[in-house]
């Protein structure tokens, strides 16, 4: 099987974590999520681990250059030789340029604002108020839409209707990769 390097992008509530995990399992390749990389590093006593922990504890974003280095380092490991599925990173054009990864396929999970609101409000998390969700959606559209255009121009972006069942969305993802 040839190496498959997949990126899933979508707003919060689009199901990208669920779909990424299922797709990675199906392809038998690692599922990579920057949040998990950060959490794992924050547990280490290394200088970088302490720095990441400090950033996360303040609720700040890890700088783009550090994140890009960590993701490149992660995909260079031997378990990624047959590919990987990355969830939601890069999120902006600067991150895309810093990362310098060649994806074989980029999927955009398309979900309308009302569906996102409905899904996230059901989670009943403290940071999932209607106002904060709308702000995150605004930021997503502002920062991430240009990333989608970038991958569209490379001819590797495919939009997937993320408003259907988990199984239907997963079937579309798999069919696209097998087709």
Tell if the pTM clears 0.85, that is, is over it: yes
Strands 83-87 and 31-32: parallel
Instruction: Provide the strand spans (E) within 10-123.
Output: 31-32, 83-87, 105-110
Asked if omega into 155 is within 30° of 0 (cis), the reply is no
So what's the pLDDT on residue 115?
95
Q: Where are the domains of the chain?
A: 4-30+84-178
> Phi/psi of residue 110, each to 5°?
-90, 120
| 110-123 exposure pattern, b = at least 16 Cβ within 10 A, e = fewer | bbeeebbbebbeee
Cβ-based burial of 158 (10 A; exposed 0-12, middle 13-18, buried ≥19):
middle
Output the tens digit of pLDDT for each of the chain's 179 residues. 578 999 999 998 999 999 999 999 999 999 999 989 999 999 999 999 999 999 988 888 899 999 999 999 999 999 999 999 999 899 899 999 999 999 999 999 999 999 999 999 998 888 788 998 999 899 999 999 899 999 999 999 999 999 999 999 999 999 999 97
Q: Which CATH class is domain 4-30+84-178?
A: alpha beta
């Amino acid at each position: 099987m040839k190496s498959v390097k997949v990126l899933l992008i979508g707003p919060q509530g689009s199901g990208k974590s669920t779909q990424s995990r299922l797709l990675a399992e199906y392809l038998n390749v690692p599922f990579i999520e920057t949040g998990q990389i950060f959490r794992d590093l924050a547990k280490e006593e290394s200088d970088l681990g302490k720095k990441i922990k400090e950033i996360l504890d303040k609720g700040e974003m890890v700088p783009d250059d550090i994140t890009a280095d960590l993701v490149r380092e992660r995909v260079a490991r031997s378990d990624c030789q047959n590919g990987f599925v990355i969830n939601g990173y890069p999120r902006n054009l600067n991150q895309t340029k810093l990362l310098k990864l060649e994806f074989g396929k980029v999927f955009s999970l398309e979900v309308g604002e009302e569906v996102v609101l409905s899904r996230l409000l059901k989670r009943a998390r403290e940071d999932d108020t209607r106002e904060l969700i709308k702000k995150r959606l605004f930021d997503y559209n502002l920062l991430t839409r240009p990333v989608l255009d970038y991958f569209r121009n490379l001819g590797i972006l495919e939009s997937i209707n993320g408003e259907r069942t988990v199984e239907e969305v997963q079937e579309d993802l798999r069919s696209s990769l097998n087709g």
